[in-house]
């Protein structure tokens, strides 16, 4: 950590998008504090990936917070009774949507930021290649930033928070090209909704389909291990 550098809290899932955002924040001169959530998701491979990425991309600190969203269910990612779709990316909000997930995650990032004295939050939401999630839109990010400055001691005292979503209007191919230019090793990432314990991807869920097509469109070799 360098004296005088700004601090940022970066939400790090272990996937392609959040890895790119961490690399972007680091390249912009931030001391990055990576936050991952163990929220009862289908597999732990993405958390193992997050640990690898935090180390490889030079996070000052990486924390994994326990959060039992599986106790609420309501999503194919937190309830094993709901199957992950494998038939291709469909219209509308899919069953892989986790109720209020980004609001919960950003709220925790906001709390840590206030403790750290950081005023910048980074999140890897995307509204171009996204799978219909309402909490991945630019309007949502703007609304959360407004909330952050209403709901915190720092915000009320005029020390404003900023929520950065640098990928929000980028295609998956553009994201991959940007991360590759910053030296991200995408072989360390796990994007699959139903990866196995070592991170091998199914190749047929929405996330795998978008990822595979992104590498093809970017003209970058796909390092993903598919089963």
Q: Are 125 and 136 in contact (CB under 8 A)?
A: yes
Q: How far apart are CA 1 and CA 214, in angstroms?
A: 34
What domains, with CATH codes, occur in the chain?
7-218 (3.40.50.620)
pLDDT digits (tens, 9 = 90+) for 70-122: 999 999 999 989 999 887 766 788 888 999 999 999 999 999 999 999 999 99
Between 208 and 132, the more confident residue is: 208
The set of long-range contacts for 111-116, using a CB threshold of 8 Å and a minimum separation of 24, is 112/9, 112/33, 112/35, 112/63, 113/7, 113/8, 113/9, 113/33, 113/161, 114/152, 114/153, 114/154, 116/7, 116/9, 116/33
What pLDDT shows up at residue 54?
A: 98
What pLDDT shows up at residue 139?
A: 94
Neighbouring residues of 105: CB distance < 8 A, sequence distance ≥ 6: 11, 35, 37, 123
Is the pLDDT score of 3 beyond 70? no
- The pTM of this model reads 0.94
What pLDDT shows up at residue 128?
A: 76
Q: How far apart are CA 214 and CA 112, in angstroms?
A: 32
Calculate the CA 12 to chain-centre distance.
5
| Mean pLDDT along residues 212-219 | 97
What pLDDT shows up at residue 87?
A: 78
């Amino acid at each position: 950590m360098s004296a005088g550098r700004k601090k940022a809290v970066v939400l790090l899932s272990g996937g392609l998008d959040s890895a790119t955002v961490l690399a972007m924040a680091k390249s912009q001169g931030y001391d990055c504090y990576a936050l991952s959530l163990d929220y009862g998701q289908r597999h732990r491979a993405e958390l193992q990936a997050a640990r690898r990425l935090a180390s490889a991309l030079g996070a000052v600190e990486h924390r994994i917070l326990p959060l039992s969203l599986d106790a609420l269910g309501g999503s194919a990612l937190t309830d094993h009774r709901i199957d992950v779709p494998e038939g291709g990316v469909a219209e509308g909000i899919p069953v892989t949507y986790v109720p209020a997930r980004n609001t919960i995650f950003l709220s925790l990032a906001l709390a840590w930021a206030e403790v750290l004295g950081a005023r910048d939050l980074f999140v890897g939401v995307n509204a171009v290649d996204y799978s219909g999630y309402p909490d991945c839109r630019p309007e949502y990010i703007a609304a959360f930033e407004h909330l952050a400055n209403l709901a915190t001691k720092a915000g009320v005292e005029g020390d404003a928070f900023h929520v950065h979503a640098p990928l929000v209007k980028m295609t998956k191919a553009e994201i991959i090209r940007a991360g590759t230019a910053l030296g991200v090793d995408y072989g360390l990432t796990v994007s699959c909704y139903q990866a196995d314990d070592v991170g091998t991807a199914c190749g047929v869920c929405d996330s795998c389909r978008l990822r595979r097509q992104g590498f093809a469109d970017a003209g970058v070799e796909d390092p993903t291990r598919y089963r």
